[in-house]
Structure 1
Amino acid sequence: MVWKERKIEAVIFDMDGVLIDSEPLWKIAEVEVFNSLGLNLDKPDFEETVGLRIDEVVAFWRSRFPWEGKSNEEVIHEIIDRVVYYIEREGKPMRGVHEIVPFLSSRGYKLGIGTSSYSRILKTVLKKLELETYFDVTHSAEFEEFGKPHPGVYLTCARQLGVRPSNCLVIEDSFNGLLAAKAASMATIVVPDGSNTPHPHLVIADEQYESLLDVLELFKEK
């Protein structure tokens, strides 16, 4: 196991699909907003944009199906509003979240979140899952020039944690997220989100597991 051969000092979690079961909620919000613009899109259409920043998702679909009347910024904020609404009412933790996060914290690992979601959604998730006190650093790609698969969000997170990238382990669920972590020279574990069709290239992860409970057992053995 590649990551076990490294001196791991920090664990950085992706958020959507790793900490919170929000990928289905994102798809609902995106379908609602894009269909209101006249785009005939359904949930499976959004699988190819999983892991991207929402401004990049909006730009992606506008380049394919241009619409009139609303700016990209207006569409972005409508989607964020819908996602926040659904998370506050329906958001549920991914299996193992409330076991692995306190455990890693108690063992002295520095904990971070590196997410493509905007900071407003990040704050909503932390409050919904009651995880505000566990993470040393939370960072959104909203504040990076480029989102995933660019490594910026993870490199900034490592710098703010005060840990070398090579001593960080990233837990991801998407191919774009894995590319970002790999480009940052970090160890990687992928826990695929069951709401998406598994990306065949997830094999680039150092290790792949079904849930965070499996990852927890590995840390207990370590």
Structure 2
Amino acid sequence: MIEAVLFDMDGLLVDSEPIWQQVALDVFATVNVPLTVEICQEATGLGTSQFVQYIYDRMPWTGKTQLQIGEEILALAHVRIAHDAQEMPGAPETVRFFADQNIPLAIASASPMNIIESVLDRLELKPYFKLWHSALLEARNKPYPDVYLGAARRLGANPARCLAFEDSGNGLKSAVAAGMLTVAVPAAYELSDPKFDVATIKIPSLRYFDQNIFNTLLQKFR
């Protein structure tokens, strides 16, 4: 049986990746870093501090510290996501599907808790989740397994009996390293990327998740 289902959030449940990318472009422009969407996409799934370090290693800047840049990104992203973010296709239906099975649900996200809560409120999904957990509360962010292991521990669930949904390569590494079965839901631009081959199942959108896929996953837990 499945003891718990854990969902990433950005890019999986909520269409926030374009917002994060534009926020990053706007904030890095203040220190004259010529950031591009393509560079942002390369780092999808990293926490903010790791993302800022990733950019600094490629294009070091002066005038603001990495901490200042990270704080500006988080503050601006919180405002824009809370007001503008929309659900990903199939996200509410997939969440409700598992809730109808009486399986405990959790969020395991690289975003801070205030952004997680703002998204769940905006999408009206908070009542379906038993808990939401941020990797910022753990020693290490994705791609390390800490956030998934921490969420499973808080749920009282065996990680090996958990199912995780992820849209990014770094997030998928995190869930696989935690020993969970995984459903990868990559963005269209990287759907064929072999980094998603480690997933138990790969689908192009949560709209494709159905009873047949659920039955296939159940077989793997026996």
TM-based fold match above 0.5 = yes
Q: Which of 3, 24, 34 does residue 9 from structure 1 map onto? A: 3
Where structure 2 has 5 or more consecutive residues not aligned to the other structure, the ranges are: none
Q: Which of 203, 209, 214 does residue 209 from structure 1 map onto? A: 203
Instruction: Output the TM-score relative to the length of structure 2.
Output: 0.91
1:116 is the counterpart of 2:87: no
Instruction: Output the TM-score relative to the length of structure 1.
Output: 0.91
In structure 1, the residue corresponding to 2:6 is in which secondary structure? strand
Ranked by relative contact order (alpha carbons within 8 Å, sequence separation 6 or more), the top structure is 1
> How far has the Cα of 1:210 moved from its partner?
1.8
Q: Which residue of 1 aligns with 2:133?
A: 139
Q: Distance in 1 between matches of 2:141 and 2:82?
A: 25
Q: Which residue of 2 aligns with 1:184?
A: 178
In structure 1, the residue corresponding to 2:126 is in which secondary structure? coil
> How far has the Cα of 1:98 moved from its partner?
1.5
Q: Which residue of 1 aligns with 2:80?
A: 86
Where structure 1 has 5 or more consecutive residues not aligned to the other structure, the ranges are: 1-6
1:22 is the counterpart of 2:16: yes
Aligned residues: 215
> How far has the Cα of 1:86 moved from its partner?
2.0
Q: Distance in 1 between matches of 2:79 and 2:131?
A: 25
> How far has the Cα of 1:197 moved from its partner?
3.3
1:219 is the counterpart of 2:211: no
1:34 is the counterpart of 2:28: yes
Q: Which of 42, 57, 62 does residue 63 from structure 1 map onto? A: 57
Deviates more, 1:59-68 or 1:131-140: 59-68
Deviates more, 1:71-80 or 1:167-176: 71-80
> How far has the Cα of 1:193 moved from its partner?
2.2
> How far has the Cα of 1:220 moved from its partner?
7.2
1:141-176 residue CA offsets vs partner (Å, 9 max, x unmatched): 111111111000000000011110000000001111
In structure 1, the residue corresponding to 2:209 is in which secondary structure? helix
Q: Which of 20, 41, 51 does residue 47 from structure 1 map onto? A: 41
Please tell me whether the aligned partners of residues 149 and 159 of structure 2 are also in contact (alpha carbons under 8 angstroms).
yes
Q: Which amino acid aligns with 1:219?
A: F
RMSD of equivalent CA atoms: 1.5
1:197 is the counterpart of 2:190: yes
Q: Distance in 1 between matches of 2:78 and 2:215?
A: 34
Q: Distance in 2 between matches of 1:22 and 1:213?
A: 18
